[in-house]
Structure 1
Amino acid sequence: MHDDPNYPVYQGNTDKRGESRIKQQFSDGRRLFNGFSDQVYFIFAGIASLWLAVVSLTEAVHLSWWSVLFILVFWGLASYLTLPRMHRILTNIYVPNYFFGRTQTGDGLLGDPVNLALVAEEDDIHEAMTRAGWTKAEPVTLKSSWRIVVSSVRKSSYPEAPVSPLLLFGRQQDFAYQQEVDGNPSKRHHVRFWKTPQDWSLPGGKKVNWLAAATYDNAVGLSLFTFQVTHKVDSDTDLERDYAKSTIQYKNPEVTDEVLENFMGDYNSRNGGGDHIKTDGNLPILNLDDVVPGNHETETDRDPDHKHRNLSELAKKAPPDVWVAGALVTLVALLQLGRTLMLYFRPGVRDNLATDLPAAASHFATNTGTEFWTFVVAGASLLVTATSLIQILLAVNVVRGHNRARQIQLALLCLTFVIIAVQIVTDTSDSSTVYAVFVLMASQVFAMINYTSDESLNYTWASTEEKRRAKTARRSSQQSSTDTQD
């Protein structure tokens, strides 16, 4: 074959060595920046949460009737920290980062199918959905999350109940609409909407402005993959797709539609909560452009990347993850500082230190008696105090948007986690195992999970970049002013 001059020639470089794929594996459209250190902290937080879950379960079985309470704590740690982070690490490796007709959960699991497309401006969608009897869902906050829990337990009406965030194009839905069933928030119709990126088209070349995922919640239960409390989705998603389409067209007769048949191919699968879903793969495209007459779209509306990735917008407000992590770090730092001060100010401790420290300092190399250990206690107390104050200062600076402070804080959290883990394994902890595991280590893992979230990373990175830009602009302005005066 190789003697044939017309035999096809491989156009690639056969001498090129394989490149490291770690950046590709852990690259994620949800993150504006994903450096090597952030990848390490992200993975370490997952491993730490797994270790914590195992240790907490091991300790729980030795606590007699208290075991019931601590097994619940174990469930919370595993369901809301360990399993989500493990799924996120794995799915970052094998789930493709391009459009293939499925949404993703915040943990990276495949979510609900994308089953509606729209040619519309945002105002057209809001007007059409309102006319059709749909209610816009509130954003997910602590207040709205608590309210939907209470409403679900009491089975009381909550028409604006939030829907869980799903990701498409690396970002959460722009908004969602829903309809309650019989005034019970456990059962509801709902549709999530995403604006498509600028100049984006469906596979095959069809241009649309919006994509949507319509599903029906029929109960509240536990996720099969994370065991979190969540809504359970009816398996026949085509029925909800057709219902949403019918209600829109019924109240908005000017809306036209076409159907891309077998767009994704029919399939049976599971969504992010482990619920069975099935679809015929058809994709209805609704044209809502005439619902609100005229062109009323702004430049920001035309460019979703500007709307969701603008640095100045991201840098304006610290996300809840940063506040929660900072509060936990500060609380534990104050607890540790308080324990250290209580140890130091116990009756007789200061007198012993005052008489023993000089002797301990002069006989440090050979003295292994009481003087040496009081010296160690004093040094350890000073170290704990300094570390606590540094962590509080770092937490404040992370809230202010300093990315370097976030990374230093993560380094300290990783280091202290390892130290406490070693103390627990070797049974040398200066506190009870329950306190070390369920207070110190749990708070550290929770803080690491929050500090390595997409929201925290994007906020601190964007804020740092904005500060750098502002500083460069000030220097340029001062330089121009100096040149003018000269």
Structure 2
Amino acid sequence: MLRGKLHRQATLWFIALCVSYLALAYFAAPEFWSLRFLRDGPRPETLLTTTEQGIPGDPINVGLVGTEQDVTAAFVAAGWDRADKLSVRSAVEIGESVLLDRPYVDAPVSTLLFNGRRQDLAFEKPVGDSPDTRHHVRLWLTFTPGRDGRPTWYGAASFDRGVGVSHDTGAITHHIAPDIDAERDSLIGDLTSAGRIVEVKTIPGIGLTKAGRNGEGDPYFTDGKVLMAVLVPDK
């Protein structure tokens, strides 16, 4: 009798702890950071993404000129996969990949906003057999055409080095490697090696940043430049 009562109490405490964690990590903490950044005022950087709570996210560090077909063909040729959209099915596949420690090559990426809009496209390239590590980039279609009249895309490229909890909210998330310039250069290198780039130029981005933090509290550093690549038209 006593053992059964203790077991029920332990179960209730466990459920209460789980509910408290979910409420703190996914509701209270994001709201706190959102209010903090609203209080501090808008950031001056224009080439910086934000989370859906308005927290500064990953900086824009790549640009592409080409149609959606050109972009997709370029990444496929370079060995990258188009990321799935977030859904119940993708959530189940993510859970299976983590539990079974197997790659999910087109796993969805979390939502970031640029100029108030969610990413239009996302691509990724897994590293090894673990679902924890991957190269990935989010892309936003802009309303500024390139010199040849094709659309311009801005992107935020970073490398997921592992899965853990957010430094700011405690929610489960991927953590990025701090050297985002290396990921930018690697992505452009992949597209170049695949023969999908006509030319590359450097344009100003957010500027030199030695101690940046993204929306999950991960530190990063960057020279603040954007590599803008003109893609080969897909025939």
Sort the TM-score into its range (normalised by shorter chain).
0.7 to 0.9
Q: 1:108–1:167: structure 2 CA closer, same or farther, 3 Å change rule?
A: same
Of 270, 273, 297, the match for 2:216: 273
1:119 counterpart letter in structure 2:
V
Partner Cα distance (2:209, 2:29) in 1: 30
Contact (CA 8 Å) 2:178, 2:218: kept in 1 or not? yes
Partner Cα distance (1:208, 1:98) in 2: 25
Partner Cα distance (2:144, 2:185) in 1: 27
- 2:200 equivalent in structure 1: 257
- 2:61 equivalent in structure 1: 115
Partner Cα distance (1:261, 1:91) in 2: 25
Contact (CA 8 Å) 2:137, 2:158: kept in 1 or not? yes
Q: 1:276–1:92: structure 2 CA closer, same or farther, 3 Å change rule?
A: same
How does 1:169-208 map onto structure 2 within 5 Å? 169-196=115-142, 198-199=143-144
Instruction: Give the structure with the higher percent strand.
Output: 2
Give the 3-state SS of the residue equivalent to 1:244 in structure 2: helix
Contact (CA 8 Å) 2:111, 2:119: kept in 1 or not? yes
Answer yes or no: is 1:165 the counterpart of 2:108.
no
Partner Cα distance (1:166, 1:151) in 2: 23
Answer yes or no: is 1:227 the counterpart of 2:170.
yes
Partner Cα distance (1:99, 1:182) in 2: 35
Of 67, 78, 85, the match for 1:132: 78
Answer yes or no: is 1:215 the counterpart of 2:161.
no
Paired residues, number: 224
Give the 3-state SS of the residue equivalent to 1:186 in structure 2: coil
How does 1:24-103 map onto structure 2 within 5 Å? 65=10, 66-96=12-42, 100-103=46-49
Quote how far apart the aligned CAs of 1:99 are: 5.5
Quote how far apart the aligned CAs of 1:285 are: 0.8
Contact (CA 8 Å) 2:46, 2:206: kept in 1 or not? no
How does 1:335-484 map onto structure 2 within 5 Å? none
Answer yes or no: is 1:291 the counterpart of 2:233.
yes
Partner Cα distance (1:247, 1:135) in 2: 13
Quote how far apart the aligned CAs of 1:67 are: 2.2
Quote how far apart the aligned CAs of 1:255 are: 2.4
RMSD of aligned residue pairs (Cα, Å): 2.3
Quote how far apart the aligned CAs of 1:92 are: 3.5
| Structure 2, unpaired ranges of 5+ | 1-7
- 2:5 equivalent in structure 1: none
Q: 1:147–1:253: structure 2 CA closer, same or farther, 3 Å change rule?
A: closer
Partner Cα distance (2:117, 2:205) in 1: 26
1:227 counterpart letter in structure 2:
G
CA deviation profile, 1:341-363 (whole Å, cap 9, x unmatched): xxxxxxxxxxxxxxxxxxxxxxx
Partner Cα distance (1:169, 1:267) in 2: 24
Quote how far apart the aligned CAs of 1:95 are: 4.5
Quote how far apart the aligned CAs of 1:209 are: 1.2
Instruction: Mark the structure with the bigger radius of gyration.
Output: 1
2:53 counterpart letter in structure 1:
D
260-269 vs 183-192, greater mean Cα deviation? 260-269
User: Matched residues, percent identical?
Assistant: 31
Contact (CA 8 Å) 2:60, 2:205: kept in 1 or not? no
1:274 counterpart letter in structure 2:
G
Give the 3-state SS of the residue equivalent to 2:76 in structure 1: helix
